[in-house]
């Protein structure tokens, strides 16, 4: 696959020392065709995620957070969804051949390295832009390739575990599906079985529909005993995955159905299912929304603990700024289908650059605010059906100037590690507009 690694025109992302991004999203545009017109739900989104970091994605309802996340795994229905433009370049990792996963200097003690390009075996060629690395454009890859990535390299935790879990299957069956789909070779090796029997043995444990011949074959001793061995190995792996999420009595819980578990327990099962195959990226789409405050704190602590141990990157989506600040290394703020600001979490919340981010932070209760002095953002979220050029926040921004109403602001670096899409930080000469058309920087004081 010949894909470009370059950023969108005019965009240079802040450098992350010594690392290639695990995922690079550039100019991502996802639209929806409706009777009223084309909805620009995601319109030119750019961000990077690195190994072992948590990127928080925040914004109001309807800002495009969930559509952005789902589009990375091609989970947006087409139609009405339309992939309009952009790239999401993913660098999958494989077990380090030097240490066989144990950890060494070559893999920085992680046991995994970026997969070499299949065409040049890591030497460098046109297909990999001479990087020597295997890359996958998640937006244009065939669905067969995406299915191999889902749950294996990239997993997703959905907002409501009660709806995401299948009520007709036990917890064991649902976690087993992930392992049987993506870890078949390892499971058979641990059970000491011949891979030639993989289809028959793993269909049953992956809860796929078996043919009559396969069901009959399992009744004969040559396959009946191996199947029992495989079941034992699989049960051990499932119990370990549940135990990693601090679920008590995992062997008992795995035999239960979702309706027999509490909301917090179901969310832990979703996390166990998401991490069962050892993904490099975990997308958490508002995973604590339906939980009470104490359970939310436990889930966040659990994610942080698992991330520290596995070096899994996390894209954490939420409208709760306090939760995002607690768990994230960096934060991207979305508004009207675009990234308004991105930077280190503490800096973004302590010294927000974009007027929208300032409004969000100012509307959150904190000990710094005197009682009764929360500031609401005036106006409403803009209409995204065939939107006109210009800043999406212009109608609600206290600093709006002439240029904001007819020109799209670009995401630019305005401080080390900080980016914002606002004309307050742009140079008049670069834009080629008159000074009186620009917003006044004095207003920031």
* Residues 387 and 240 placed together within one structural domain of the fold: no
What confidence tens digit (pLDDT) does each residue in 134-167 have?
788 999 989 988 988 898 889 998 888 888 899 9
What residue numbers bound the domain in which 197 lies? 166-258
| Alpha helix positions (H), 22-64 | none
108 in any annotated domain: no
Interval 376-387 mean pLDDT = 84
User: 348 falls in which pLDDT band (50, 70, 90)?
Assistant: very high
Query: What is the number of structural domains in the chain?
Result: 2
What confidence tens digit (pLDDT) does each residue in 382-393 have?
889 988 888 999
**Is residue 196 pLDDT above 50, yes or no?**
yes
What CATH number does residue 41 fall under?
3.40.50.300
* Residues 407 and 302 placed together within one structural domain of the fold: yes
**Is residue 217 pLDDT above 70, yes or no?**
no
Q: How far is CA 395 from the centre of its chain?
A: 30
Q: What is the pLDDT of residue 194?
A: 64
Q: What is the pLDDT of residue 434?
A: 59
User: 381 falls in which pLDDT band (50, 70, 90)?
Assistant: confident
123 in any annotated domain: no
What confidence tens digit (pLDDT) does each residue in 272-317 have?
898 888 888 999 998 887 677 888 888 888 888 888 888 899 999 9
Q: What is the pLDDT of residue 206?
A: 46
* Residues 252 and 294 placed together within one structural domain of the fold: no
**Is residue 372 pLDDT above 80, yes or no?**
no
Interval 322-328 mean pLDDT = 90
431 in any annotated domain: yes
* Residues 140 and 207 placed together within one structural domain of the fold: no
Rounded to the nearest 10 degrees, what angle do helices 171-182 and 198-205 cross at?
Answer: 150
**Is residue 2 pLDDT above 50, yes or no?**
no
* Residues 339 and 432 placed together within one structural domain of the fold: yes
Interval 49-76 mean pLDDT = 92
55 in any annotated domain: yes
> Which single residue is written with the structure tokens 């075996």?
121
d(CA 135, CA 16): 19
Q: What is the pLDDT of residue 432?
A: 60
160 in any annotated domain: no
pTM score of the predicted model: 0.82
* Residues 199 and 139 placed together within one structural domain of the fold: no
**Is residue 19 pLDDT above 50, yes or no?**
yes
């Amino acid at each position: 696959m010949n894909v470009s690694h370059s950023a969108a025109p005019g965009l240079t992302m802040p450098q992350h020392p010594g690392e290639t991004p695990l995922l690079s999203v550039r100019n991502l545009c996802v639209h929806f065709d409706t009777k009223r017109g084309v909805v620009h739900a995601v319109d030119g989104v750019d961000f990077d995620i690195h190994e072992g970091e948590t990127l928080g994605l925040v914004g109001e309802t309807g800002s495009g957070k969930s559509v952005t996340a789902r589009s990375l795994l091609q989970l947006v229905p087409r139609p009405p969804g339309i992939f309009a433009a952009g790239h999401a370049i993913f660098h999958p990792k494989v077990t380090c051949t030097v240490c066989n996963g144990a950890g060494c200097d070559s893999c920085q003690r992680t046991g995994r390295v970026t997969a070499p390009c299949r065409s040049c075996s890591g030497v460098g060629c046109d297909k990999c832009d001479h990087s020597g690395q295997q890359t996958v454009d998640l937006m244009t890859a065939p669905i067969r390739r995406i299915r191999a990535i889902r749950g294996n390299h990239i997993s997703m935790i959905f907002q409501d575990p009660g709806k995401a879990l299948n009520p007709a299957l036990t917890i064991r069956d649902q976690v087993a599906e992930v392992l049987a789909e993506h870890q078949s070779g390892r499971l058979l090796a641990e059970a000491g079985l011949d891979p030639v029997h993989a289809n028959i043995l793993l269909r049953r444990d992956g809860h796929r529909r078996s043919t009559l011949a396969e069901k009959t074959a399992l009744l004969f001793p040559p396959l009946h005993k191996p199947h029992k061995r495989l079941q034992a190995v699989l049960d051990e792996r499932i119990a370990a995955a549940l135990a990693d999420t601090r679920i008590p009595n995992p062997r008992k819980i795995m035999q239960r159905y979702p309706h027999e578990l509490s909301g917090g327990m179901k969310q832990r099962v979703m996390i166990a299912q998401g991490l069962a195959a050892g993904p490099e990226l975990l997308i958490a789409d508002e995973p604590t929304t339906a939980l009470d405050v104490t359970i939310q704190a436990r889930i966040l602590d659990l994610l942080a603990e698992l991330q520290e141990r596995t070096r899994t990157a996390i894209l954490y989506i939420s409208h709760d700024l306090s939760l995002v600040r607690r768990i994230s290394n960096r934060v991207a703020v979305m508004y009207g289908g675009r990234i308004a600001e991105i930077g280190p979490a503490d800096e973004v919340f302590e010294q927000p650059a974009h007027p929208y981010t300032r409004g969000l932070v100012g509307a959150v209760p904190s000990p710094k605010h005197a009682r009764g002095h929360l500031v609401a953002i005036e106006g409403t979220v803009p209409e995204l059906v065939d939107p006109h050029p210009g800043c999406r926040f212009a109608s609600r921004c206290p600093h709006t100037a002439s240029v904001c109403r007819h020109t799209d602001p670009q995401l630019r670096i305005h401080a080390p590690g900080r980016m914002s899409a606002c004309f307050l930080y742009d140079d008049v000469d670069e834009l080629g507009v008159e000074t009186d058309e620009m917003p006044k920087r004095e207003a920031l004081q």
